[in-house]
A and B are shown apart, each in its own frame.
Chain A
């Protein structure tokens, strides 16, 4: 297992380099000029200087290598510096967002908590409600509970989050005034009062996303349980006189969780992608929104960095899912 993990990590390096190159080339080919926002009255020579200041006078391959150096060398060093108070990194060599005129990573760190709180919490809530629902639905297949669950998850899965989001806003924020319609990112939780306020503004976005996540995961859980409930070993467990609780929650569940855990792990990188649409709808100032605004502003370093981080997380969690599979299923031996 260890050698397998190490081998996979080593293979991930060329994969990630390739991904970063592809992202770079796509952004390079994309139309759009980072100086498009500048007034037309700016004289051409000044414009050239501005381009040079952004490094745009360099050939593409130089800019790509520069980004690589910044991302894989300067930024990690900077992270070390900020953690241990050292001074290894060259402060001028960091990836700078054109739009914010500040280091891209600093902005990302700033936005990360919003995304983690809203999207991450929604994921956790989704998983926590999906697993028991999936178990009960499968065990009581075609009962009213199962039918209701099937209906709700069909709705939750097929109705887009921007729609459910807007519906919730209209009903609960505009009409009932239960929750604020706009997420206040500047809110700091300092006391009970502000905590309640934070909780209240999180309710709707978390609900929308949790419903979506739970719909998907509960279906997986149900299908996996149904698969396993048919298996011969279940009959063996019953023939041994085990109680239904043990049969279902020990024998069947332990097997059913294997694929579900994998699916859950594979879904985690999408948290960081920050449910772009939901963040837009509720005006949550997270990573998803950061990416969107960066794209609008032609902020190439930011887009490149964010996209690459999402890609790296996807690769990482793929690996984690595979390793988990091996840990959970004794039949899988990687070495």
Chain B
């Protein structure tokens, strides 16, 4: 008999006797799977309109040390990126093809590694910044939803020391449940192999619980939202 069948056999045998539902002090309450629409009444509150969600995202960003900038229009992506590149003395950057990145990244005028057709890990490691798009911004938690399709693969947003995200206001969603809806609508059940919520720059508290940014991932996270 295979280990799979052995394990499943033991599980089925074990489950023949029912277990009480937690939180009912031994009487048999009923467990139910709550619809994700219900979560929003318990989780931290989020406003309904875009303006309040942008506000909340900005407030969360400040707490998380994400550098969040609201821009007036798409035309500002290029000059703001150029400014950032100059301030930080970037020598080379990495990015991927996309409507927003194609518009803005060439304007920096730096050697650019593109991940679309594969890349050398060591070459990417040498880049000063990874510039990506994303699938959504999550107001409730200050998170950025990326997938391996929307953000140029798995490593582009974590290997270079500075991650820059280009995004539009229309991509704001209230909470994580709504973010999953975005993924489902885009991909049906052909999910990308990698989906991630990025919430602030990489961090650790492993030494005396003191916060240090840039543990292994980016030290800085900048979001330009138009």
A and B are partners in one complex rather than unrelated chains = no
